[in-house]
Amino acid sequence: MALKDEWQEQRTLRRQEKLQRQQQVRHSLAEKRKQLRGLSALAPATLNIGEVSPVGEGVPPEGDFAGREAENRLSLAQQFYPQLKKQTQAFLSSTGSERQARARQLAARLDQYVSELQRQTRQFLALTATERSQMRASLAKDLRDFHKTLTVTVARLRQSIQSQQRLNREKLAEDLATYIESLRSDMRSFMQQLKLARAERAQKLQQSLQQNRAKRTASMRALFQSFASFRAQLREYRTNLRQSVWGTPAAEPIPAAASATTAMAQTAADEPEAVPAASLTDEQQVYDYIQRSEVVRLADIEAALGLNRVQAVDILNSLITKGLIVQDDRFQSRFRDSADQK
C-alpha cells in the first residue's frame, strides 16, 4: 500500500473517532440537561415556598402535610445542588483529563505517524534515487549500444547504397553506350538509305529531265517543220497571186531563201540541244561536287570547277529551283543537298 493511501485511511479513521467522541459528548450533555431541567423545575417551587414561608416564620403546624413536604423539598434541593456541582466538576475534570490524555495519545500517534511517514518517505526517496540512478545508467548504456548499432547499420547501408549507385551508374553507362552505338548504326543505315534514295531520285529526275528535253526538242522540230511548210505555202500563195495579177512570174531567189530558212530551222533546232547539254554538264558537275562535300561554299565551287561567279550563281539558282539542293539560312554562302533536309 502506498504512503498516501495509508495516510488517507488513517485520516478517515481519525475523523470517525472524532465524530464518535462528539456524539458521546452530545449524549452526555443531553442527559445532564435533562437532569438539570428536572432540578430547575423542582427548585422554583422550593424557592417560592421558602419566600412565602421563610424559615422561622409562618411555619405550618407539625401536623400539616404540605409544610413537611415543602421542608423536604427544600432540604433535598439544598443537598442536590452541592452534589450536582461536585458531580459536574468531577465530570468536567474527568472529561478534560480524558480529552487531554486522548489528545496526548493522538499527538503521540501523530508524531509517531509523522516520523514513520518521514522515515518511509526518506526510504522511498532513497530507493527512488537508487532506482533512478540505476535506470539512468542502464538507459545510458542502452543509448550507447543503440548508437553503436545505429552507426554500424548506417555505415553498412551507406556502403550498400554507394555500391548500388556505382552499379547503377555502370549499368547506365553501358546502356547509354549501347544506345549511342545503336543510334549511330541506325543513323548510318538511315544516311545510307537517304543517299540511295537521293541517288535514285537524282537518276529519276535526270531521266525526267532528259525525257522532257527530248520532248521539247521534238516539239521544237515539229514547230519549225510546220513553220517551214507554212512559209512554203505562203511563198506558193504569193507566186500564184503574182501570176494571177501580173500574168508573168518574177524571178526570185526562192531556192536560196528556202535553203536559208532550212538552215535557220536546223540551227534553231540544234541550238536547244547544244546549250542545255553544256548547262546540264555544269549542273551535273556542281551537283556531284555538292553531293560529295554535302556543305560547300560558293568560292569552293568556283575554285574546284573553274567557274566564274555569274556561272556558279546561275547553276546554283537552277539547282535550287529544281529542288535538288537548298540554301542554308544561317550561312548565306553555303548550300546543302535537299536529301539531307529530309
DSSP, collapsed to helix, strand or coil, labels residue 247 as: coil
In terms of Cα–Cα distance, which of 322, 287, 117, 132 is closest to 212?
322
266-342: CATH number: 1.10.10.10
DSSP, collapsed to helix, strand or coil, labels residue 27 as: helix
In this predicted structure, what is the pLDDT of residue 147? 93
C-alpha cell at 294: 554535302
Task: With beta carbons less than 8 A apart as the criterion, state whether 269 and 213 touch.
Answer: no
Task: With beta carbons less than 8 A apart as the criterion, state whether 319 and 336 touch.
Answer: no
Cα–Cα distance, 203 to 207 (Å, whole number): 6
Q: Where are the alpha helices (DSSP H) in the chain?
A: 3-52, 65-246, 254-293, 298-305, 309-322, 338-341
In this predicted structure, what is the pLDDT of residue 146? 93
171-196: string of b/e by CB count within 10 Å (b at 16+)?
Answer: eeeeeeeeeeeeeeeeeeeeeeebee
In this predicted structure, what is the pLDDT of residue 50? 43
**Side-chain-side CA neighbours of residue 82 (13 Å):** 4
Pairing of strands 334-337, 295-297: antiparallel
Longest dimension (CA), the chain: 234
Query: What is the sign of the dihedral through the CA atoms of 18, 20, 25 and 29?
Result: positive
Q: Does the predicted model carry a pTM greater than 0.85? A: no
**Side-chain-side CA neighbours of residue 297 (13 Å):** 4
In this predicted structure, what is the pLDDT of residue 342? 38
In this predicted structure, what is the pLDDT of residue 294? 61
In this predicted structure, what is the pLDDT of residue 66? 64
The per-residue DSSP string of 195-246 comes to: HHHHHHHHHHHHHHHHHHHHHHHHHHHHHHHHHHHHHHHHHHHHHHHHHHHH
Distances 284 to 162, 287, 291, 315 between C-alpha atoms, Å: 62, 5, 10, 9
In this predicted structure, what is the pLDDT of residue 1? 59
C-alpha cell at 212: 522532257
CA-based end-to-end distance of the chain: 98
Burial of 145 (0-12, 13-18, 19+ CB in 10 A): exposed
230-256: string of b/e by CB count within 10 Å (b at 16+)?
Answer: eeeeeeeeeeeeeeeeeeeeeeeeeee
Residues of the chain scoring pLDDT < 70:
1-2, 39-67, 248-280, 294-295, 328-342
In terms of Cα–Cα distance, which of 248, 251, 254, 250 is closest to 234?
254
Task: With beta carbons less than 8 A apart as the criterion, state whether 205 and 337 touch.
Answer: no
151 phi, psi to nearest 5 deg: -65, -45
C-alpha cell at 111: 508524531
